[in-house]
């Protein structure tokens, strides 16, 4: 298995632009998680899905952030409009059970 | 979920055992101890978890004290590739509240 796949690996954009991050979970995993990591705040859970249904989005910072999982093999995290404070590494993780999560390589987002 | 306390950093000589401690004095009876690590520029990686018995897998061993107030992750023969930040996480398994709180972890440096 290729593991969790994220794209793009790096994204540089300007403030106000829409950003879409993509994730392909490991096949057969029922749980999918989106995390954000910064030096100041560490690793934060943004949202997670179970069987494509969003279960807990309490970590989503504000309405500019949205996440979807249209099918079991694909999820997106969208930021519209983006702001410089959104600069971070965004990780997607999947798991067959809630606890042993397998993380992707991350997307490093820079908003200028 | 119970709070954990870990040393900020540790060094270990290559080839020696690395013993990473974690205090979780407020752990509840149904909370598990999980260990993840994050190698620089990569996503976190699951290592091991346990409830009250000692656990061993191909990566590491987990020793949990009888009162469950602390635990130690043991990497039996540390290599340079084990240099990473190690996170001790305590949480209830198999619950709807699925947040893995990573905290600040222990930065392990394996020295040649």
Interface test with A, best of B43, B85, B87 (most A CBs within 10 A): B43
B107 pLDDT more than 80: yes
pLDDT at position B31: 87
**Max Cα separation, chain B?**
43
Q: Which two tokens stand for residue B62?
A: 């987990």
**pLDDT over 70 percentage in chain A:** 97
pLDDT in tens, A48-59: 999 999 988 988
Contacts of A102 in chain B (CB under 8 A): 46
B103 pLDDT more than 70: yes
Contact A101 B100 (CB under 8 A): yes
Pairing of the two strands A10-13 and A107-111: parallel
Distance CA B22, CA A42 (A): 18
The Cα-based distances of B88 to A18, B2, B20, B72 in angstroms read 36, 11, 9, 9
A89 pLDDT more than 90: yes
Interface test with A, best of B47, B98, B107 (most A CBs within 10 A): B98
Task: Note which residues in 37-96 of chain A have CB less than 8 A from chain B.
Answer: 42-43, 45, 48, 55-56, 59, 91, 93
pLDDT at position A100: 83
Residues, chain B: 112
pLDDT at position A61: 86
pLDDT in tens, B4-62: 999 999 999 999 999 999 999 999 888 899 999 999 989 999 999 999 989 999 999 99
Task: Report the alpha-carbon angle B72-B97-A45, nearest 5.
Answer: 80
Distance CA B110, CA B12 (A): 5
């Amino acid at each position: 298995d290729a593991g969790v796949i994220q794209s793009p690996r790096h994204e540089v954009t300007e403030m106000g632009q829409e950003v879409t991050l993509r994730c392909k979970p490991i096949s057969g995993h029922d749980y999918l998680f989106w995390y954000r990591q910064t030096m100041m705040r560490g690793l934060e859970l943004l949202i997670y899905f179970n069987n494509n249904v969003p279960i807990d989005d309490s970590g989503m910072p504000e309405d500019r952030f949205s996440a979807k999982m249209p099918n079991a093999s694909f999820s997106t995290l969208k930021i519209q409009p983006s702001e410089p404070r959104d600069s971070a590494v965004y990780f997607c993780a999947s798991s067959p059970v809630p606890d042993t999560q397998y993380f992707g390589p991350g997307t490093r987002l820079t908003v200028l | 979920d119970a709070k954990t306390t870990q040393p900020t950093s540790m060094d270990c000589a290559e080839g020696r055992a690395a013993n990473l401690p974690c205090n979780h004095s407020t752990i509840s009876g149904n909370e598990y101890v999980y260990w993840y690590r994050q190698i620089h520029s990569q996503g976190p990686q699951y290592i091991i978890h346990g409830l009250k018995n000692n656990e061993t897998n191909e990566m590491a061993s987990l020793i949990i004290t009888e009162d469950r107030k602390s635990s130690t992750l043991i990497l039996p023969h540390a290599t340079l590739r084990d240099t990473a930040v190690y996170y001790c996480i305590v949480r209830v398994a198999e619950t709807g509240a699925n947040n893995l709180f990573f905290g600040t972890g222990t930065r392990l440096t394996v020295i040649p």
